[in-house]
Copies of this chain bind each other. A is one copy, B any other.
Amino acid sequence: MQERAVRTREVILRAAAEVFDEFGFSGASISKIMKRAGVTQGGMYFHFPSKEALARAVMVEQGEGLRLPPGEDGLERLVDITLYLAEELQSNPTLRAGVRLAAEQGEFGVQDDSAYRLWAEQFGGQLRAAQEKGELLPEVNVEELAWVLVSTYTGTQLFSQISTGRADLHQRVVSLWRYLLPGVATPAVRQHLDVAVRRKRAAA
């Protein structure tokens, strides 16, 4: 019984993400989402009392179900994760809707930075591993840099989305790292990363 409820919640969230991704918050409706999910009104309200509750869940759970690239934690994996997210932002409705709602939340009267904080923790974990491996410049403050990365990534994807529907997002994330890495990584790690990124691009 509980397993079925968990499954229903997942189906609703996925349908909500698709509808929010396509129509935004104000263009979405509970009935559209119910129809897409194939659930009854009772099933819907058992899990989510309002459209705002649905939007908050999609925002906060935007990273659920992602298969982050494998590898040892550290700076190379962090770069890989940001490039992977750029790809997922082309096609993954849960991530797309969560990111869209997070940026546009002021329009529907919400002010909730939980989604950004979760990414700051994720990026911060990679940065702490990088620091332990001696990959970071000694003047780096890991907590501060994690917030800078989430901020700069957020703006990069937003501007790319408005300019090109995110068609140039991969290139823009590469540009972002081009200007950030000299203030973040030791020269040896920067050189290694340059080679690693070129190798991956050649293989792709």
Q: A residues engaging B (CB < 8 A)?
A: 24-27, 100, 102-109, 111-113, 116, 140, 144-145, 147-148, 150-156, 158-163, 165, 172, 175-176, 178-184
Cβ contacts under 8 Å, A100 to chain B: 106
Partner among B153, B162, B184 whose Cβ is within 8 Å of the Cβ of A116: B162
When chains A and B are docked, how far (Å) is the Cα of A160 from the Cα of B172? 22
The answer on a CB contact under 8 Å between B179 and A148 is yes
* Interface secondary structure of A, over-half rule: helix
**Which of A155, A158, A160, A165: most chain B CB closer than 10 A?**
A155
Q: A24-B107, A148-B178, A152-B156 are in contact. List 7 more A-B contacts (CB 8 A).
A: A26-B108, A103-B104, A103-B106, A106-B162, A113-B159, A148-B172, A151-B159
Contact (A159, B116) CB under 8 Å given A147-B172, A152-B176: yes
Which residue on chain B has the smallest CB distance to residue A25? B107
B151 touches A176 (CB 8 A): yes
Q: Which residue in B116, B148, B154, B162 is a CB contact (below 8 Å) of A113?
A: B162
A175 to B148, CA, bound (A): 7
Known A111-B162, A183-B183: A24·B106 in contact at CB below 8 Å: yes
Residues of B within 8 A of A106 (CB): 24, 100, 103-104, 161-162
Q: How far is the CA of A154 from the CA of B159 in the complex (A)?
A: 8
CB distance from A168 to the nearest CB of B (A): 10
Given contacts A26-B26, A155-B153, A182-B183, A176 and B148 within 8 Å (CB-CB) = yes
Contacts of A162 in B (CB 8 A): 102, 105-106, 111-113, 116
Complex CA distance for A196 and B104, rounded to whole angstroms: 36
